[in-house]
Amino acid sequence: MTTRIEPDGSRPAIRFDRVGQVFSGSDGGSVTALEDVSFTLRRHEFVAVIGPSGCGKSTLLRIIAGLVKPTGGQAEIYGLPVTGPREEVGIVFQQPTLLPWLNVRDNVTFPMKHKHGRVTPAEKQRAGELLAMVGLEDFATRRPNELSGGMQQRVGIARALLHDPDILLMDEPFSALDALTRDEMSFELLRIWTERPKTVLFITHSIPEALLLADRILVMSARPGRVREIIDVGLARPRSMETLSEPRFHEIANHIRAQVFRPAALA
């Protein structure tokens, strides 16, 4: 594990530099998941990545998380190339991925236990604070299977925030939730992000979700995954239910929809 580097405002938090990813299949063929993807995230910027299924958006996240090595180009965090998982990154997965044999608090502190073999009292206390922040302080000693899907994903978010990462990677974190819980979680995430600003890379396939949350939206095309357009959302913050009815919201939503469904040949 690389040592944690001091966040530097002058450097982009995340930079993809002509990143490409080719997966070779077991039948000898190969699939180009990403091709020539370049873009940067400023520190504490919220960027959503949207695109059809199979556009390689999850691969993009795995590359910056250090879980997958790109076959072309490179990914950087604060100017340093990513070679493996990094301290300053927290990840929220598509599924809550909680460990059923641990209670909620131990799930939140699991990263420390797993990395360092022990959990300090300070980290335990911080886990309590994070659980309070996501509204689950009364559930600290419950098992994950006693919680609803939304509550489980809140625990997943608290876990990702435990070591106070500067960068938060979220891989369709609300896609397994029902529509109502989804909206609620979006506002919850906005509140958390306002309280503790972070650089967020948020993968989603929901246009309203991307619009509600992000400063900029990266629209991707499918097979191979390429950057089709980067959109400045420009909706005023703080955002609320009213944001959803603003004319600009619908204007951009329609624009993205047209982009996503535009055939690749015309791009």
Partner 1 sequence: MKSPTISAPRSSGRRRWPDMGRALLKVLDRGAPLFASLLLLLIWELACRLFQVPAYLLPTPSAIVQGALAVALESWLGHIWATLRVSLQGYALAVAIGIPLAVALANSRLLSRTLYPQLVIIQSTPIVAVAPIIVVVLGAGDAPRVAITFLITFFPIVVSTVTGLLATPPAMLELSRSLGASRLREVKNIQLPFAVPYIFSALRISVTLAIIGAVVAEFVAAEDGLGFFIAFSTSFFKVPQAFAALGVLVTLSLALFQLVSLTQRLLFPWSLPDAEK
Q: Which residues bind partner 1 (CB under 8 A)?
A: 1, 65-67, 84-85, 89, 91, 93-95, 97, 99-101, 110-111, 113-115, 117, 143, 145
Query: Smallest distance, Å, CB 82 to partner 1?
Result: 12
Query: Smallest distance, Å, CB 101 to partner 1?
Result: 5
In whole angstroms, what is the distance from residue 146 CA to residue 101 CA? Answer: 12
157 near 91, Cβ under 8 Å?
A: no
The two tokens of residue 87 are: 């301290």
The three-class DSSP label of residue 25 is coil
The two tokens of residue 67 are: 């879980």
How far are the Cα atoms of 62, 64, 111, 163, 199 from residue 67, in angstroms, in the given order?
Answer: 5, 8, 16, 19, 19
Query: Smallest distance, Å, CB 132 to partner 1?
Result: 23
How far are the Cα atoms of 49, 143, 149, 159, 227 from residue 214, in angstroms, in the given order?
Answer: 9, 33, 23, 22, 17
Query: Smallest distance, Å, CB 224 to partner 1?
Result: 23
Residue 177 vs 212, nearer CB to partner 1: 177
Residue 114 vs 237, nearer CB to partner 1: 114
Query: Smallest distance, Å, CB 177 to partner 1?
Result: 16
92 near 173, Cβ under 8 Å?
A: yes
CA-closest candidate to residue 51, choices 75, 72, 33, 25: 33
155 near 134, Cβ under 8 Å?
A: yes
Query: Smallest distance, Å, CB 63 to partner 1?
Result: 12
Residue 124 vs 143, nearer CB to partner 1: 143
Residue 141 vs 254, nearer CB to partner 1: 141
Instruction: Specify the length of the chain in residues.
Output: 267
Residue 85 vs 197, nearer CB to partner 1: 85
Residue 85 vs 237, nearer CB to partner 1: 85
